[in-house]
Structures are given as structure tokens and as C-alpha cells.
Amino acid sequence: MLRIGLLPQWLLVAAMSAVLLQPMGSEAQAAAPRHTVNLTNGSSIQGFTSTVRSRTVWSYLGIPYAKPPVGALRFKPSVPLDSPIGNSSMPYDASKKPQTCYYWPLLPQEFEKTNPALMMWWNNTEMSEDCLYLNVWSPTSDSAAGKAVMVWIYGGGFFGGSSSLEVYDGAVLAATGDVVVASMQYRTGALGFMFLDDTEAPGNAGLYDQYRAIQWIHENIRAFGGDNSQITLFGESAGAVSVSYHLLSPYTQGYFRRAILNSGSAIAWWASEDRSTGWSKSLALADLAKCRPDYTRDGIKIANCLRQVTPELLQQHTWNAMSNVFKARKQSYSRYYQQNLRRYQESGNSAAIANLETALFFDVPFKPVFGSDFLPKVPVEQLRDSKMNNDVKKADLLLGVVKDEGTFWIMYALGGIFMHKNGNWNIPFWWGQPLDQQLNRDYDFLVQNRTGLDMDKDPYNLVARYFIVNNTHLDSLVTEAVSFEYQVPSKLFGRTSWTAKETLDALDDLTSDRSFKCPTVDFAEMYAQMLGMNGSNSIWMYSFEQRSQMLPLPEWTGVLHGYELDYVFGTPFNQRFGPEFYNFTTSESQLSDDVMKFWTNFARTGNPNQFNSSSLSGEAWPAYNLSDRSYIVLKSRLSTASSFRIGQNLRKRQCDFLRYQVPNIVRQIGARYDCSSDRRSEPTMGPASSANALQGKLAFIILVAGLVQLSLL
């Protein structure tokens, strides 16, 4: 059975793919032809050249962009370097991938070691606190070439990830699109986002790292053949959230021109928290690390103590710092269960099954905090009021989602019921009804032995247990409305039979919309309102719907979160991936070519169209606007002469339901329980302000199975 302890390393990239990493060794890179770049501050950096798609690419890996954040600099914003790196007689060696910033867990599970589709997401370089390095891939050695620049920010739930992963290698993208590609390492977890004190641990250190790297790139990219007036930030999942924060932050707005958001934005419920919430988690972490023997609340004293704790132990305690969150969830669900006991029993469950524990809660342990210098305002409020305050960067914006964002989270949140001991993935059979006699016997055995994490016979019961995050809003009115809107099969709605796949699809839609699709769609909507009808900037939206045909996972997994990354970075053309494991089809390779050209055209011009290729030309992708909300469906074409499908109003009904109707229901709950100590009334919210509900009010999510049971050494 899958141990829940493996979940964080999947979240650390917030993506899953099916390619086998065959990394180029440092020996091969050292043997490649070398090239030296000289910076205006006297630095000399020596990279190497390689041939990619019949074109020479100059690579510079592991360039330091800030002082190592160790010792007294731990938890603090990164500090710029104060001296040159390398010199003309001894250039800095930029031929090796940089070290990875610490995250937890430190090692993969045995199950993962035998699955290359999982192992490819594990860090492939040593972990270290000395990790603030960046990479550059350039299609030219001419410092006057003035190529557009694309700066990649990886995802990972703000507690993991690495730019060193082979899937993020920028050489193919640089060669195909004739752009300079750069990426950086940044701190995550407690080391990157713990908030205690405005001077010693002000929070958002990981975002400051990104800012320092972007600033360094802006100042030095001309030496690598780039144009610092044509910088595009692009990222996926937490990386996309980060890119959107740079649109909001007064620190970074002047250092880039365009932005690409893959599956995420600043207004996602999991993307940020206020200072008091961050503070309480930091105190819990300090307790675990024995840095509060006198229960002090002195942030400076606590931070100084935590600087003496090893980074391994600090990251190891990260998830247990949420123990109070798990405890509150269990208490709230217990009250909800008691109020709805009869309904549970009527849906075919015994009281024992209905009262299974609900400490299956997904959240990001340490998030970016607003109310700080870097993020002064609540993101959704800043975006909503930006037309009046003019404090959000106006930029060309390309953004979108993948078809089945939620399946990834369901599989790994509830991994123990999806994965058999033989390593195969299956949908839980008891999610379908009716069960035959043999399945009923199997079901009873599972119940008696408690080998399943959740064996509700009616999917309706899953919604409250796993998909409503705000504890004060656990109420049957909300559960019924959400279940009905998302067509969760249930006897409550007159259903007597359904398949397990129907249940999975409904929960996938709910999770996809709540966590990724609607935060992305709503960000586009609010950004378009800010730009207005006559602005000089454009918005472009996509839905990625290609499931790679040779993927070694069941077809029911669909198009998982992160699947587009293979196509964005040109994995079908990366010779360091083993074709014996995963052969992309001709049409998939063509799709990757199309996606790379869309992305790099956008980086150069602000418009993904204008292909300079016989394979696709003209205005294939219409701009997004408030009149028709057009988007392109990125999926393999039948032939190079065929066009991509164009859709309109991506998930509009569902996102409007979450953005407007759910707050309406919450207000009714508040009125009904106005005098109850267990219920809180919601403030009145009209259309202009109800988007704030997406920030943290009534968030519907996948709850990570057994995070409180993480095996922390």
C-alpha cells in the first residue's frame, strides 16, 4: 500500500509526467566546447556549447545570483553578491547544474525507485542551503543579438522543487524558439516562507530569491545575447502563482514585460495567508524544534534559535507544524457528522463508517504572506481594486490549465485506496454502486480491517469529509449544493446506480475547478477588467487536453496536472530522455513544436500567433476578452494542415457558482446560525467582493490522506 509519506515529493513539483530521465553526466558537459561570457562588473562565466535540433546552444549552469542564505542570513531576504564571480584568468565554471534547496522528504520511497515516471521528479543534484543559483541557455554567443528572454519559475507548493530537473532544461526551448531561457533555484518550506519577525524572519524569502534572480537577469542578460526589455516570466502551479505575485509586487514590476501562468494564480485558496496564520505555524514549528522552552513569543529570539537547527530537521518538522490545523479539522468534522448522522445511515453506511476520521487535509504548510513589503495587500483585493489604484503591472498575459487538474491530487491524497500492493493504480471499486456479492464481501473485509482510507458507499459523503476546507462552513446546505452542481452521484439525488469512474470524474471536476481552473479563469477575468477595452496589452487563454498515448498510467488518470510541461520544454526533442521508456508519437512531437512556438512567439511579440513555419500560420489563437472569453484547445492535430479547436467561456458556469453562489449559501448559513458559537456570519459580499471567497472562504479541496501520519524521523 502506498505510504502517505511520499505525497510531498509529488507536490514539490506540482506536476506529473511520463518520461524517463537519462541525465547527461558532468563529464559529458565538461568535455563539450567551452565559451566565456564577461559581465560589466568584471565577472567572467564559462559555460559550454551543445547541438540541439541542429542548432548550437550555449549553456551556463549554476551561476550564483545572491549570497548563500546560511548562518545569520537564514530566513532573511536574499542579499546581492558584493564581488565579481570569476575573472579573465580564471572564469567561473558554469558547467554543472546547481544544488537543490532543501525540502522534505529527503529520500524517495522504495515504490518510487522502481517507477521512472515518479523518479524523474526527484531532485537530481545535492541538497544544500547554499542553493541560490541560476541557469541560462542561449541560442547565440553574440552579446548584441537582443533575443527575447524567458525566465522559468518551477512549482512545488512552496515547499519543494528544483530548476535542475531535466524536464526543465531550457536548451530545446531556446533552440526552437530563438530565445534566451533562464531559471533559478529559490528557497521553499520553512527556510523560504516562515514568518516570525519583520527583520529576522519576515516571510516570503523564497519570493525575494526569485526577485533577486530576476533582477540579476535584467542587469546581466545582455551579455548572454538577451534583451532585458523583452523579459517574460513563466511558471507552473506554485510557479504560476509566483509569476502572478510579481505582477502584484512593487519590487519586481519593473524587471519584466510579459507573463505566462500555467495552472495557478495569486487568488488560489492555497496560494497565500495572512501574517497571523503564518506566525502561528512558525510558533508550532519552533515548539517542535525545542526553540520555545519558555513559550516565548519573541520572534528574534525564536529565529536565532532556529538558525541552530539543521536544515534537515527543520524541513522534517514542516508538516507536523500543521498539527493544530489537523486537530481543528477533526473537531469540526465530528460536529458535522453528529448533525448529519441520520443521512449517513440512510445512504447505506454504518455509524462506524460514517465516522471515519477526517484528518485528510491538504494545505501548503508555509505560504507567502500578504501584509508585507513584498505583498502589501490581499492579492484578490489588490487585483479587484487595481483599476482604481493602478498598483498591478499591466502586461501581456498568457495563461491556462490542463483538462484533468484534479485527478493528480485525488490519486495522491487518497493514494492508499487507489494503489494496489502490486503497484497498479485502480479506482476504488466501492465508489461505484451497486456492488455485487463478491465486492460486498471484499468491502466488508476492508471495513473490518480498516485497510481503506475511506469506504463510503455514497459519494455524497466524500464531499464534506474531503472537499470543504473552511471548518466553520461544514454544513449540509453547502455539501448538497456542491454535490448537485458537480453531479456527484448519490442516492440523495435519486440515483440508484453509478460507476466508480463517474464518481472520480465528478470529484476531479470539483477539485480541478476549486484549486486550479477557477483561480486561473477568475484571474484572467479580473485582469481583463483592469486592462479595459482599449488597453495596449492582450490576454491569451488555453486548455491543454493532450494525454500522451504511451503514458504508463491507466487511461482514466486523464490529462494530469503538469502534463503540458513536456510540451513546453520540448521533451520529445530532448536526446537525454530515454526513448525506450517513452516514445512520443509524431503528432505529439508536432504539438510540442507548436506549443514551444506559441510560447516563444508570445515572449517576443506579446502574441502567440505569427508562426514563421509552414506547419501552422495565421491567427490560430484568438485573444481572450470579456465579450466571448475565447481560448484555444491544445491537443494533437489530425494533420499539420488542420487547426486547433477554439472554445469560449472556459468553466464559466462552474466558476461563477464558486465565486458567487457559494458565498450566497454561506450568508444563509450565517443568518441561520447567527447566535451559535460554532458558526460565524459572513460579511455581505456583492459581485465586486465575493471573489475574496476564493482566497480562503469555503475552499473546496483535496485533503491529503494521513499527512498527520507522516513518518518524520
**Helix-helix angle 275-288:323-339, to 10 degrees:** 110
Determine whether 22 is exposed, middle or buried from the number of CB atoms within 10 Å of its CB (0-12, 13-18, 19+): middle
Catalytic residue check, 237: yes
CB of 541 closer than 8 Å to CB of 400: yes
Among candidate residues 59, 138, 163, 237, the one labeled active-site is 237
**How many of the other CB atoms lie within 10 Å of CB of 457?**
19
| Residue 585 exposure: Cα atoms within 13 Å on the Cβ side | 14
Determine whether 53 is exposed, middle or buried from the number of CB atoms within 10 Å of its CB (0-12, 13-18, 19+): middle
Catalytic residue check, 35: no
CA distance 332 to 475: 10
Catalytic residue check, 405: yes
Phi/psi at 30 (nearest 5 deg)?
-65, -30
Please list the residues that pair with 181 across neighbouring strands. Answer: 137, 150
CB of 613 closer than 8 Å to CB of 590: no
**Nearest Cα to Cα of residue 403 among 537, 293, 513:** 513
Helix (H) or strand (E) holding 93: strand 92-93
Residues 6 or more apart whose CB falls under 8 angstroms from that of 418 comprise 2, 410, 411, 425, 426, 427, 428
Q: How far is CA 197 from the centre of its chain?
A: 27
Cis peptide before 434 (omega within 30 of 0): yes
Pairing state of beta strands 147-153 and 180-184?
parallel
Burial 418-429 (b: 16+ CB within 10 A, else e): bbeeeeeeebbe
Among candidate residues 129, 273, 405, 502, the one labeled active-site is 405
CA distance 365 to 158: 8
Among candidate residues 561, 630, 636, 690, the one labeled active-site is 561
Phi/psi at 92 (nearest 5 deg)?
-70, 130
CB of 232 closer than 8 Å to CB of 246: no
CB of 286 closer than 8 Å to CB of 306: yes
Helix (H) or strand (E) holding 229: strand 226-236
CB of 359 closer than 8 Å to CB of 326: yes
**Nearest Cα to Cα of residue 47 among 174, 214, 224:** 224
**Nearest Cα to Cα of residue 146 among 452, 639, 585, 604:** 604
Residue with cell 539543521: 310
Quick check: helix, strand or coil at residue 630?
A: strand
**How many of the other CB atoms lie within 10 Å of CB of 236?**
30
CA distance 328 to 245: 30
CA distance 186 to 204: 11
CA distance 647 to 618: 18
CA distance 399 to 525: 11
CB of 318 closer than 8 Å to CB of 104: yes
Q: What is the 3-state secondary structure (H, E, C) of 5-72?
A: HHHHHHHCCCCCCCCCECCCCHHHHHHCCEEEEECCCCCEEEEEEEEECCEEEEEEEEEECCCCCCHH
CB of 147 closer than 8 Å to CB of 140: yes
List residues with catalytic annotation.
237, 405, 561
